Amino acid sequence: MLVRPLDPRLLRYATAARWFLFVGAVLGLAQTLIVVAYAWLLSRVITLAIDGRSIDELSPSIAALAVIVGLRALVVWLLDAAATRGAAQVKTQLRTQVLARVAERGPEWVSGRQGVRLATTVTSGLDALDNYFARYLPQLLLTVIATPILVAVMLANDLASGITVIIVLPLIPVFMVLIGRATQSVQQNQWDALQRLGSGFLDVVGGLGTLKIFGRERRQFVRLRTITEDYRQRTMKVLRVSFLSGFVLELAASLSVALIAVSVGLRLVDGSLVLSVGLFVLLLAPEAFLPIRQVGAQFHAAADGLAAAGDVFAILDDDASDGASIPNAVSMTDPGTAASALHLHSLTVRRQGTPVIDGLDAEFRSGHISVINGVSGAGKSTLVGALLGFVPYDGEVRLGDWTITPGSPRSWLAWSGQRPGLMSGTVAHNVALGEAAVDSAALETSLDWAGLSGLSTATRLGVNGAGLSGGQAQRLAAARAIYRALVHGCAVVVFDEPSSALDAAAELDLLRGLRRLADQGRIVIVVSHRPVVVAAADRVLTIREDAHV
């Protein structure tokens, strides 16, 4: 299936594209009129010079020609500037919407897709839209605007040349379609190879510690070399197709112009065509073929961006992984920390029509530590996802007197997941997580309650929290949830396996911090299999595989 020259979804999801199309159409029309004026003035100057006119008689036409040349350069520059600005705005809008969709669907939705593919699409993939806007789309606009006008002008001045253009012009789109089919295939293969290369590299980096321990790290060299070589070969194949298609299109356009030139030359010799008209038509002929020829030539430059945009549109068009949609966020008064309990009534979560949690009734009280446990696959993470609003569900979730719906704001909740999700930066930056102003007292308290009182808030971490042990990273994630609860007054704090990587002493330190959090009147929910955590709980909710308590 060929990529559409202009996907309607681009106009729906990126309003900046509409602005660019309007500005591009206006500038394209101006450029077309300037081309006609340029051809007419140049043919006039040459004709007058051949007639032996003096320089004084030629001066007005030469001056006008110079002005037209300057105007054409200005319009071309404005079109390039509009394309660059349009590409930047479109990329910003698409990235913002994709990130909003990721935040709306949550980590479980993302885990069902290839994270590397998603990251590549949103970063380097969308960057390729620069070529689409700067090189491809302007030529597409000129094809729609300039070519009909130039053909009409040629018909008005020389009927034979105009008819010739009309006959031979459709041959170029035929070549474009044939070439486009081959191009689409090799471009898609190259894009897939890039995705495999990114995924393979990330897998190696993520498992390098394990590979090193078992002495298998060098075996990955061959795998990465094979993937890289495959990508190189596909890239060279794309370049071969690009050069070949460019040659074919140039040849077709050159032969078409040559056909018109021969016709004009023969009629100039027999006197049936005047020199001024012949020159005017000959100057317009290449301009009539140029936009459609450039569309074919620049298609290759735009293909990567179009492929990435297609992936983005697929993400934005996707309602939810299981076909159910999460309602839009609705406004509600923040229940704060005064809620006495979180109630679940007949909570049901389905995946592809099959209940994962079926009719669950539960109560989590304020001032208590409630532990959720159960065998793997029983639905503990699904339950947490429902509480976070990332998973659509049936039934009722109530916090005090407030009914909570999927997609509604979760300002009342703080959460620490199984993966720490740390970033490059200081400990304070990771705990506060983007807060405009860091509360130093709450920061120190959060680290203390998470069992990290000895860790300096100024300590700089690498990517994914490099510089900390697994247990420290886990406690830092817990400190982040505690900090949010303290600063924003969250009534509910959820911890998903917060002590799986901790030793006994560190686990007890963390549990003491969670007890202090519960003593403030908060609802503390912990997902854990650890006997010490279960023993410290005020209430244990065991989920069986049939999703009942």
What domain range includes position 202? 8-317
Q: Is the residue at 1 inside a domain?
A: no
Least confident of 12-21, 291-300, 405-414: 291-300
User: Would you state the pLDDT for residue 495?
Assistant: 93
Same domain assignment for residues 313 and 346: no
Q: Is the residue at 326 inside a domain?
A: no
Q: Has this prediction a pTM greater than 0.75?
A: no
Where is pLDDT greater, at 74 or 197?
Answer: 74
Inter-residue contact 68 to 34 (CB < 8 Å): yes
Region class of 233: left (phi > 0), else alpha (psi between -120 and 50), else beta: alpha
Same domain assignment for residues 355 and 278: no
* pLDDT tens for each residue of 85-110: 888 888 888 888 888 877 777 666 66
Residues 6+ apart with CB under 8 A from 12: none
Percent of the chain with pLDDT over 70: 81
* pLDDT tens for each residue of 210-236: 767 777 667 677 777 777 777 777 777
Inter-residue contact 112 to 158 (CB < 8 Å): no
Among 193-202, 373-382, 495-504, the range of highest mean pLDDT? 495-504
Same domain assignment for residues 346 and 218: no
Inter-residue contact 455 to 431 (CB < 8 Å): no
Question: What CATH number does residue 486 fall under?
Answer: 3.40.50.300
Cα distances (Å, whole numbers) of residue 309 to 26, 53, 95, 164, 416: 25, 57, 10, 38, 33
- Structural domains of the chain, count: 2
Same domain assignment for residues 313 and 351: no
- 114 pLDDT band, cuts 50/70/90, is low
* pLDDT tens for each residue of 53-65: 888 888 888 999 9
Q: Is the residue at 333 inside a domain?
A: no
Q: Is the residue at 366 inside a domain?
A: yes
For residue 283, which of 34, 24, 57, 62 has the smallest C-alpha distance? 34
Same domain assignment for residues 220 and 359: no
User: Would you state the pLDDT for residue 158?
Assistant: 86
Helix (H, G, I), strand (E, B) or coil at 362: strand
Q: Is the residue at 132 inside a domain?
A: yes
Q: What is the mean pLDDT of residues 425-442?
A: 88
Same domain assignment for residues 175 and 241: yes
Same domain assignment for residues 385 and 294: no
Strands 413-416 and 425-426: unpaired
User: Would you state the pLDDT for residue 178?
Assistant: 66
Same domain assignment for residues 250 and 398: no
Same domain assignment for residues 52 and 141: yes
> Is the per-residue pLDDT at 319 higher than 60?
no
Same domain assignment for residues 35 and 138: yes
Same domain assignment for residues 59 and 201: yes
